Chains A and B, each alone.
Chain A
Amino acid sequence: MTAAPLLSVSGLCKRFGPTLALAGVDLQVRAGEVHALVGENGAGKSTLLKVLAGVHTADDGEVLLDGLPFAPADPAAARDAGLAIIHQELALAPHLTVAENLFLGREPRRGPFVDRRRLRELATAALAQVGRGQLDPDTAVGALPPADRQLVEIARALSGDVRLLILDEPTSSLARADVEPLLQRLRELAARGVAVVYVSHVFEELFAVADRFTVLRDGATVTSGAIADTDHDRLVAAMVGRSVTDLYPRSRATPGAVVLELEDVAGVRLPRRATLQLRAGEVLGIAGLIGAGRTELLRAVFGLDPVVAGRVRVAAFEGAAPPAARWRQGVGMLSEDRKAEGLMLARSSAENVWLPVLAQKARGGFVAPRRLEQDAMPWLQRLAVRCAGGSQAVGELSGGNQQKVALARLLATGCEVLLLDEPTRGVDVGAKAEIYAAIDELAHRHGTAVLVVSSYLPELLGIADRIAVVCRGEVLPARPVGECDEHALLAAMTTGALTGEGA
Chain B
Amino acid sequence: MNPARLLRAMGPSLGLFVTWLLFAVLAGGKFTSWSNTELMLLQTAVVGTAAVGATWIIVSGGIDLSVGSNIALCTMAGAGVLQAGGGLWLALVATIATGTLVGWLIGALVVGALPRVLVTLGCGGGVFLVAHGLGAWAWPLGVLAGAVAWLSSRRLSWKLPLSPFIVTLGLWGTLRGLAKGLGDNQPIYFERNDTLAGLMVTGGVLPAGVWILLAVAAIAAVLLRRSVFGRRVVAIGSSRQTARLCGVDVPRTEMGVYLLGCTCAGIAAVLQLSYLSMGDSTTAQGYELKTIAAAVIGGASLAGGEGSIGGTLLGALIMTVVDNGCTKLGLDNWVQEVVTGGIIVGAVALDRLRLARR
Residues of A within 8 A of B (CB): 302, 304, 322-328, 333, 335, 337, 340-347, 351-352, 355-356, 358-359, 362, 365-369, 409
Given contacts A344-B238, A346-B305, A368-B226, 19 further A-B contacts (CB under 8 A): A324-B247, A325-B247, A326-B247, A327-B246, A333-B245, A335-B242, A341-B239, A341-B241, A341-B242, A345-B239, A346-B238, A352-B242, A355-B232, A355-B235, A356-B246, A362-B227, A365-B228, A367-B227, A409-B246
Interface residues of B in 205-258 (CB under 8 A from A): 222, 225-229, 231-232, 234-235, 238-239, 241-249
Per a CB cutoff under 8 Å, which of B222, B239, B245 touches A323? B245
Measured between beta carbons, the chain B residues less than 8 angstroms from A322 are: 247, 249
Alpha-carbon separation in the docked complex, A302 to B247 (Å):
10
How many B residues face the partner with a CB closer than 8 A? 23
A279 to chain B, nearest CB (A): 25
Which residues on B sit within 8 Å (CB–CB) of A340? 239, 241-242
Q: Do A356 and B238 have beta carbons less than 8 Å apart?
A: no
Contacts of B229 in A (CB 8 A): 365
**Chain A contact residues, majority secondary structure:** helix
Interface residues of B in 40-98 (CB under 8 A from A): none
| In the complex, chain A residues whose CB is within 8 Å of the CB of B244 | 304, 323
| CB-CB nearest in chain A for B229 | A365
The 5 closest A-B pairs by CB, nearest first: A324-B247, A341-B241, A344-B238, A355-B246, A356-B246
Q: Which residue of B lies closest to A342 (CB)?
A: B242
Contact indicator A343/B239 (Cβ below 8 Å): yes
Given contacts A340-B239, A347-B238, A355-B243, contact A367 B228 (CB under 8 A): yes
> When the two chains form their complex, are residues A356 and B242 in contact, meaning their CB atoms are under 8 A apart?
no
Which chain B positions have C-beta within 8 A of A335? 241-242, 245
Q: Are A347 and B235 in contact (CB under 8 A)?
A: yes
B243 contacts across to A, CB distance below 8 A: 344, 355
B235: A residues at CB distance < 8 A:
344, 347, 351, 355
Which residues of chain B come closer than 8 Å to A323, judged between CB atoms? 244-247
Would you call B227 and A365 a contact (CB within 8 A)?
Answer: yes
A409 partner residues in chain B, CB cutoff 8 A: 246
- The docked-state distance in angstroms from the alpha carbon of A409 to that of B246 is 9
Q: Is the CB of A344 within 8 A of B249?
A: no
With most chain A CB atoms within 10 A of its CB, the pick from B227, B229, B239, B306 is B239
Query: Please, which residues of chain B bring their CB within 8 A of the CB of A369?
Result: 225-226
Which chain A residue lies CB-closest to B241? A341
CA–CA, A365 and B223, complex, Å? 9
Q: Are B231 and A367 in contact (CB under 8 A)?
A: yes
Q: In the complex, what residues of B have CB within 8 A of residue A365's CB?
A: 227-229
How far, in whole Å, are A362 and B228 apart by their CA atoms in the complex?
Answer: 7
In the assembled complex, the Cα of A367 lies from the Cα of B235 at a distance in Å of 14
Bound-state Cα–Cα, A109 to B226, Å: 60
Instruction: Provide the residues of chain A in CB contact with B225, threshold 8 Å.
Output: 369
Contacts of B306 in A (CB 8 A): 346
How far does the Cβ of A283 sit from chain B's closest Cβ, in whole Å? 21
In whole angstroms, what is the CA distance A355 to B242 when docked?
9
**Assembled-state Cα–Cα distance A304/B242 (Å):** 11
Expressed in whole angstroms, the Cα–Cα distance for A362 and B232 within the complex equals 12
CA distance A24 to B282 in the complex (A): 68
Please indicate the chain B residues that have their CB under 8 angstroms from the CB of A343 in the complex.
Answer: 239, 242
Complex alpha-carbon distance, A365 and B224, angstroms: 12
Would you give the 0/1 interface string for B247-271, flagging 1 where the beta carbon is closer than 8 Å to chain A? 1110000000000000000000000
B226 CB contacts on chain A under 8 angstroms: 366-369
Cα distance A173–B238 in the bound complex, in angstroms: 28
Question: What string of 1s and 0s marks CB contacts (under 8 Å) between B307-333 and chain A?
Answer: 000000000000000000000000000
Complex-state Cα separation, A340 to B340, whole angstroms: 35
- Choose from A325, A342, A366 the contact partner of B245 (Cβ within 8 Å): A342
Q: Could you say which residues of chain B place their CB within 8 Å of the CB of A327?
A: 246-247
